[in-house]
Structure 1
Amino acid sequence: MRTRAAILKASPATAPFAESRPLVIEEVELDPPGPEELLIRIGAAGLCHSDLSVINGNRPRPVPMVLGHEAAGEVVEVGSAIRDIAPGDRVVMTFQPSCGTCLPCAEGRAALCIPGAAANGRGVLMSGEIRLHDCHDHHEIHHHCGVSGYAEHAVVSRHSVVKVDAPDIPFAELALFGCAVQTGVGAILNTCRVQPGQSVAIVGLGGVGLAALLGAVAAGATEIVAIDLSDDKLAVARDLGATRTWNAADPEAAAQIRAATGGGVDHAVELAGAAPAFHLAYQITRRGGQTVTAGLAAPTAEFRIPAVNIVADERTVKGSYMGSCVPQRDIPRFIRMYRAGQLPVNRLLTGTLTLDRINEGFDLLDRGEAIRQVVLFD
């Protein structure tokens, strides 16, 4: 079948993207699903910094590629080997497919699935196949994170979707559970394991960072420090439950936060994807505390710390990928929390746009003028 998609044909691209037009809207040829794959009609797909990092070259991926890794939609057709999902079911797609049988998956660490990471790096589905092709010369077009959600339809692996019983939740909100909520809330609940009464700092208040803030509120943290370069985002953070806010541009921010929190916070989570932000997060973590990074910095970025601090202060420095989530467990759990009013995910949504306006949307994201935008499909 043919479907419209946003194709990244070359990377890196330079801003403003409204002028350079790195994402080209064209019809593509989409092959039928294989035995363990599904054809999905995309309902909504979010604009995330992980997509932007492919556009600007910070995260090299094979091109041409249909981007979009945070999406939700409705099943149109299922492969011959699939028995637990049927046409008409709603699904949330997850950007790290998990095979369920490799060592990390067997340990309950689906985010570290070895075959899934290999497939994502090659721009293919878990089967090793590519289902997207140019309509004119039939050349292959790569898949992004096994999803390629910036298209009217997508063929995805069964290992990349979570069936959800959510007919009442708009696709624009459901899509956020695929990345922003998994990564942000998961970093708080799964990686940090924040306990009631503890203190948390969030460095970087994009969609993922503000989702982490919602997770900290839901976890019962009594001190939640929100840090960003944007005063507008700091205002949003206060509205969502932050007890203190700081502009990261203040050279005295680290010292002031340590003083205000009695020597630092229990958990500092960096979600900006930048080494200076991670350094700030480390500086404001108390002795015996934990510094977690879930932001994807450029491959060349480095972070240096005095080795003696790790021992003398019993400090923990830890990474969090996909919020250390097991998607089949955590996406339904986070949806239940949303329904219970514990995770007002809908408040992260700052705008919707059509596929034709996607380059302009990435300009807003690049300039820090949007939290979470989603492309809506009819």
Structure 2
Amino acid sequence: MANSITVRAAVYRGDGDRLAVEELRLDAPAHGEVRIAVRAAGVCGSDRHVIDGEWNVPMPAVMGHEAAGVVEAVGAGVRELAVGDHVVVAWHQACQRCGECAGGKPWACMRVKSNESRLPDGTTRWQSLDGAEAWPYLAVGAMSEHIVVPDFAAIKIDERVPFDVASLIGCSVGTGYGAVVNNAEVLAGESAVVVGAGGVGLSIISALRLAGATPIIAVDVSEEKLAEAKRLGATHGLIGGPELPAEVAALTAGGADVAFEAIGRIPTMEQLPTLLRPGGRAVFVGLPPEGHPLTLDALLLAYEGKTIIGSNYGGLVPARDFPRVAAAYLAGELPLDELISARIALDEVNEAFDAMRRGERTRSVIVFAPESPASGAES
């Protein structure tokens, strides 16, 4: 296709749990699309679900879905963005037309194509060098030097936000913030528990501190991660296990007002309602493997009036919430720099996933050189 470019990207072809950094062709943006020079891309647990064989996606897959960068080309019909704009990419690319979208709930859109790694028209802008189609994970493909996304999925933010921080707003930080503000609607003075002190869990803790929750109890199996959670606002840190409900009850006079699961493990999701006081809210933020049902005490839930809340993308309205998170960061209210434990090159992506599997690091971020130009342009 005219004006296509060659890019380096991390690609999963279904062979074991390794990604290959290879060259692909990326077509020019079509009507209503923009091409972004990626400056930073987060390494997220959702990507690991794919490469560990727990979720199925079209392959070959251009991995990654947390991206921030600079708009470098716009397709016909794009009005709100211009070349040079700094943007964060939203991976849940709602259809913009259904009742849920019109009602201000784009996260509830069931006509979304991005969950199938397809752009809104059902196609892809990616090909292998031999011409075979490739598919950007969640219609982003963030682990690439350049990407093409719908214009409504590229949210302009303040240029003062560093790209490594901005990339996390598109998933882990935005999801954690939204789970607190949009899903749980946490009030000042409410008690909270966060199970899992990885990137999303720490984002939840930061948002809870901003909301004025107290106490804020972090739960993990890593003392190192619990120490990080306390630095970001947790008042207590507990090691997870069967005794956790009693320990939480002792710290909260009978149970927390709200509890968040930020791992996606069936045992911790099943335990979550037991950490609550009567009338409390359990928020499922972590995403488990496909096809794993939960076993819950339904009578106890009903009798004690506890609520289960599913958090899809933190109930975010990206055009509204991404700039709010960026503003809170610039005001010093969300210390998002502290969530990043490693800044890496694209060629180090497999090592980042290995560290994640070992329970190390809070968030690895791939940083792309700003001077990397688009290459291989065709006339």
TM bucket (normalised to shorter chain) is over 0.9
Q: Which moved more, 1:45-54 or 1:126-135?
A: 126-135
Partner of 2:74: 78
Residues 51-93 of structure 1 show CA distances to partners (whole Å, capped at 9, x for unaligned) of 0001111111111010110010000100111011010011100
Residues 132-160 of structure 1 show CA distances to partners (whole Å, capped at 9, x for unaligned) of 0011x200001111110100000111132
Quick one: distance in 2 between partners of 1:267 and 1:190?
13
Partner of 1:340: 331
Q: Which amino acid in structure 1 is aligned with residue 334 of structure 2?
A: L
Cα contact 1:218–1:343 (8 A) shared by 2? yes
Q: Which moved more, 1:45-54 or 1:120-129?
A: 120-129
Quick one: distance in 1 between partners of 2:251 and 2:116?
47
Cα contact 2:273–2:306 (8 A) shared by 1? no
Q: Which amino acid in structure 2 is aligned with residue 26 of structure 1?
A: E
Quick one: distance in 2 between partners of 1:263 and 1:338?
34
Quick one: distance in 2 between partners of 1:159 and 1:281?
35
Partner of 1:281: 272
Deviation at 1:210, TM superposition (A): 0.2
Partner of 2:13: 9
The TM-score, its normalising length taken from structure 2, stands at 0.94
**Pair 1:88-2:84 in alignment:** yes
Partner of 1:372: 363
Any stretches of 5+ residues in structure 1 without a counterpart? 15-21
Deviation at 1:120, TM superposition (A): 2.4
Cα contact 2:26–2:127 (8 A) shared by 1? yes
What does residue range 53-64 of structure 1 map to in structure 2 within 5 Å? 53-64=49-60
What does residue range 296-315 of structure 1 map to in structure 2 within 5 Å? 296-315=287-306
* Residue of structure 1 aligned with 2:148, choices 144, 155, 169: 155
Cα contact 1:126–1:159 (8 A) shared by 2? no
Any stretches of 5+ residues in structure 2 without a counterpart? 370-379
Partner of 1:18: none
Partner of 2:34: 38
Quick one: distance in 1 between partners of 2:145 and 2:93?
21
Which SS does the other structure have where 2:88 is aligned?
A: strand
Partner of 2:139: 146
Quick one: distance in 1 between partners of 2:359 and 2:260?
19
Q: Which moved more, 1:119-128 or 1:346-355?
A: 119-128
Quick one: distance in 2 between partners of 1:130 and 1:306?
44
**Pair 1:124-2:118 in alignment:** yes
What does residue range 143-292 of structure 1 map to in structure 2 within 5 Å? 143-164=136-157, 166-249=158-241, 251-292=242-283
Cα contact 1:146–1:157 (8 A) shared by 2? no
Residues 146-203 of structure 1 show CA distances to partners (whole Å, capped at 9, x for unaligned) of 1101000001111321111x22222111101000111111101110000001011000
Which SS does the other structure have where 1:202 is aligned?
A: strand
Deviation at 1:265, TM superposition (A): 0.3
Residues 333-374 of structure 1 show CA distances to partners (whole Å, capped at 9, x for unaligned) of 111111111111111011111011111111011111011110
Deviation at 1:115, TM superposition (A): 2.5
Which SS does the other structure have where 1:114 is aligned?
A: coil
Quick one: distance in 2 between partners of 1:191 and 1:170?
27
Residues 263-284 of structure 1 show CA distances to partners (whole Å, capped at 9, x for unaligned) of 1100001001101111222110
Number of equivalences: 365
CA RMSD of aligned residues (A): 1.1
Cα contact 1:127–1:157 (8 A) shared by 2? no
Q: Percent identity?
A: 38
Quick one: distance in 2 between partners of 1:240 and 1:84?
35
Quick one: distance in 2 between partners of 1:114 and 1:67?
22
Quick one: distance in 2 between partners of 1:255 and 1:129?
51
Partner of 2:373: none
Which SS does the other structure have where 1:215 is aligned?
A: helix
Quick one: distance in 1 between partners of 2:343 and 2:12?
20
The TM-score, its normalising length taken from structure 1, stands at 0.94
Quick one: distance in 2 between partners of 1:303 and 1:230?
25
Moved over 3 A (4+): none
